[in-house]
Structure 1
């Protein structure tokens, strides 16, 4: 039986006009040359030069002068090399210098894809049978650098979406708080990386550090250890693992006067400099009925990937943490929305081909996993993976999957797992739930539909999905019809 899927008309498309103001730096020598050129101007000439810049770009950015000032402060240490005190400059000079170290980056000019959906923490001013939701997207711009962005909307009783107004003044976090490490705790984290100890004695790196230390201090020690050990190139990955661990902890605070559609989670740490990919958001409820929104995502540095996690309660303040343990090494980790039998549970894909499930006492540490699903049908023989966190239903855990088949076509499927024993598969659709149609198959990566998380509303499954890695939309499926088909499917 083919399940009826209702595609909705709404499209989320890339918008090149959505820009953030990024710090621009091309090395000390060019920076010093720029500073000298500005200082050759009189104070009046500097004021004349900065005024039209402020006038033009204040229409595109909230408090552009504050951004210029922040970027000026990032290069102010260079004034010592010119035997100058940066504080001797007046406001116009500082802002002008800062403007030369600023560039606009169009965060979604290339693609707007791989969405997830969660219930909004604010359900005020919604009517009967309505639900406010948050969509997250992978936004990609120049250089294929990906970030996380958001949209909000209200699903009505028929699951039509009314998109709420989208702000134009995009911002990165107002404050980025780097993590301060405790030496003993960091030793415990290193102890999880068993393959490191036989090659790199932890004391070689940590003994020179105080009991409390920053990432920058640790980075210096890592570089010194690298030089002293002269490791072969194939062992460099071990240092990279420690660097990843050290740079992965930070916190983000967004201004209270930003709309959620204006908040951009842009790469911060070294291990994600080439992109934050495919965030799978889930509304997690703990044993005390307290809610935290988690998102697992993939950090990409241009060579290697690293699974990471962020959490938030209000979408203003975010903590970013690495995922530790032997199985935290591939794309597509997806957290269950609650503990199962007293443990956190996670879907994952260790080998790139099959689905696995893992359990842990700690949401950040994942050591063991067991095989959950293997490709079975022609449309998923290349690989099978999850499309977001499992959804709890009275009949079992509903998991939307993706399968890759001939011509590398990505399609969506569905499976059902036992509520008390989620490692037990109850049923799996024999045919794809959703395949790319004529419109959806054209894009940056042809023949792909993909999702990072679904939800249930008014007895329908709501599936946001990307169209060939370019734009996004959503579809609805009758939940009862889908569950009945899954329960009646015969697993062999």
Structure 2
């Protein structure tokens, strides 16, 4: 165990596990050499293409061989990335069909770059049981940990790690992935009701929106949407704000997506980069939970903060196997701002979530469909010195016989983040049954320095027997794991 000295309770123990960012872990993404126009009126891409077309066949072959030797070991199927990026540039070439396969691939390489997904930081984890527990020793649990990885431009993505915690609470992480694997984008079904809720939040022209949505079935695809938008577009002269409504609907569609990873990739290799317009600058702080439906079916649900460089919004991520994921925008007053965290099951006939819609208190919000969240009910306000700036949650509630254990974060003087806890009633989670007067985790001396100093923060813990396994980020830079005795925590929550 770590010897980091703090004033934390004796029933909380830090492990020696520490995960840091690996700048050698890269993925290949599209590279456009400047979007600016030159004096001639031609983009830089056109100039690059002209110069590559001027190479001899021998120069093309030699350059491609050198690139493969230097870069292929850092990627899975780099040739496929080069080919895909050539396909995106093909429309700029009048004689693309006459090019040799090697020249096409080299053109693709000139429009490809490496992105170090965790080149800057690795933090704010969530821990959940792995969907496959086959072969695990008695008393042990295989787990999946989501991580927030930050790369160039402070762009955040979701990474994954896997490992096992044994019957003695010893953690072993699987070897870190040597490559990053990106998913393929699939056609995504859309929900008319979800579109309507999001339009209400955005304040769109309702007459035009209703005109489009009324022409669509409850579930529709992109072709259905395009046909309905074409009808509105044809009437734009007689329908005010039609272009604005079209832009809003296309924006919502862009934020609704489905991706799938290669079946032969390991979970730990998979990286979810920003996809939709709402998250162009980051997929941030994934709060994942294994959700059990009333019929016993289980899936993994996660909320995350989508950041477009100026504004934040909440998205829902769903998967059953960590291979295929769907993402959908959330709406309603309960989904404002950051930090929505879903309960692991329904209470009554409603979905529940923790909310921090007002940015400083902990609240509970409800939903009938997981997408639209009602006005939240405040359950905790700042009261103690270490949390007087603001409160928030540290992931989904954990169900116990004594109630819902909620890990919280509190911000105090010098913008210091600590982790606390709250106990909510099982049947009525708006009723508080206990709260910690002191933090259960504060930044240790060797955790205080980082991109954002003096922070310990988690996006979700996992219950293992009677031990709360708490992964947490240290000053927005690295990840550590702490273990808390559940019975001692509940006893203190009741005092």
Q: Which residue of 2 aligns with 1:398?
A: 405
Tell me how far 1:474 sits from its aligned partner.
0.7
Q: Secondary structure at the match of 1:309?
A: strand
Match runs of 1:97-116 below 5 Å = 97-116=107-126
Q: Which residue of the other structure, out of 204, 212, 220, is the alignment partner of 1:196?
A: 204
Q: Secondary structure at the match of 1:118?
A: strand
Q: Which residue of 2 aligns with 1:137?
A: 147
Q: Which residue of 1 aligns with 2:4?
A: none
Q: Which moved more, 1:326-335 or 1:429-438?
A: 326-335
- Equivalenced residue count is 477
Q: Which residue of 1 aligns with 2:376?
A: 369
Q: Which residue of 2 aligns with 1:278?
A: 285
Unaligned residue ranges in structure 1 (runs of 5+): none
Closer, same or farther: CA 123–269 of 1 in aligned 2, 3 Å = same
Q: Which residue of 2 aligns with 1:246?
A: 253
Residues 190 and 256, structure 2, Cα contact 8 Å, conserved in 1:
no
Q: Which residue of 2 aligns with 1:176?
A: 185
Closer, same or farther: CA 240–424 of 1 in aligned 2, 3 Å = farther
Closer, same or farther: CA 372–206 of 1 in aligned 2, 3 Å = same
Residues 159 and 458, structure 1, Cα contact 8 Å, conserved in 2:
no
C-alpha distance in 1 between matches for 2:232 and 2:414: 44
Closer, same or farther: CA 4–412 of 1 in aligned 2, 3 Å = same
C-alpha distance in 2 between matches for 1:227 and 1:50: 53
Q: Which residue of 2 aligns with 1:268?
A: 275
Residues 209 and 217, structure 1, Cα contact 8 Å, conserved in 2:
no
C-alpha distance in 2 between matches for 1:66 and 1:307: 33
C-alpha distance in 2 between matches for 1:193 and 1:126: 46
Residues 187 and 202, structure 1, Cα contact 8 Å, conserved in 2:
no
Q: Which residue of 2 aligns with 1:464?
A: 471
Residues 190 and 202, structure 1, Cα contact 8 Å, conserved in 2:
no
Structure 1 length-normalised TM: 0.90
Structure 2 length-normalised TM: 0.89
Q: Which residue of the other structure, out of 33, 38, 44, is the alignment partner of 1:30?
A: 44
Q: Which residue of the other structure, out of 427, 434, 444, is the alignment partner of 1:427?
A: 434
Closer, same or farther: CA 2–181 of 1 in aligned 2, 3 Å = closer
Q: Which residue of 1 aligns with 2:99?
A: 89
C-alpha distance in 2 between matches for 1:276 and 1:326: 21
Residues 139 and 166, structure 2, Cα contact 8 Å, conserved in 1:
yes
Q: Secondary structure at the match of 2:406?
A: strand
Q: Which residue of the other structure, out of 47, 57, 69, is the alignment partner of 1:55?
A: 69
Q: Which residue of 2 aligns with 1:304?
A: 311
Q: Which residue of 2 aligns with 1:336?
A: 343
C-alpha distance in 2 between matches for 1:353 and 1:188: 28
Residues 226 and 239, structure 1, Cα contact 8 Å, conserved in 2:
no
Q: Secondary structure at the match of 1:10?
A: strand
Q: Which residue of the other structure, out of 157, 161, 169, is the alignment partner of 1:151?
A: 161
Q: Which residue of 2 aligns with 1:453?
A: 460
Q: Which residue of 1 aligns with 2:330?
A: 323
Unaligned residue ranges in structure 2 (runs of 5+): 1-7, 36-41
Closer, same or farther: CA 373–241 of 1 in aligned 2, 3 Å = farther
Residues 198 and 330, structure 2, Cα contact 8 Å, conserved in 1:
no
Q: Which residue of the other structure, out of 342, 349, 360, is the alignment partner of 2:356?
A: 349
Q: Which residue of 2 aligns with 1:9?
A: 16
Q: Secondary structure at the match of 1:257?
A: coil
Residues 206 and 221, structure 1, Cα contact 8 Å, conserved in 2:
no
Residues 197 and 332, structure 2, Cα contact 8 Å, conserved in 1:
no
C-alpha distance in 2 between matches for 1:442 and 1:213: 47
Tell me how far 1:228 sits from its aligned partner.
10
Closer, same or farther: CA 94–228 of 1 in aligned 2, 3 Å = farther
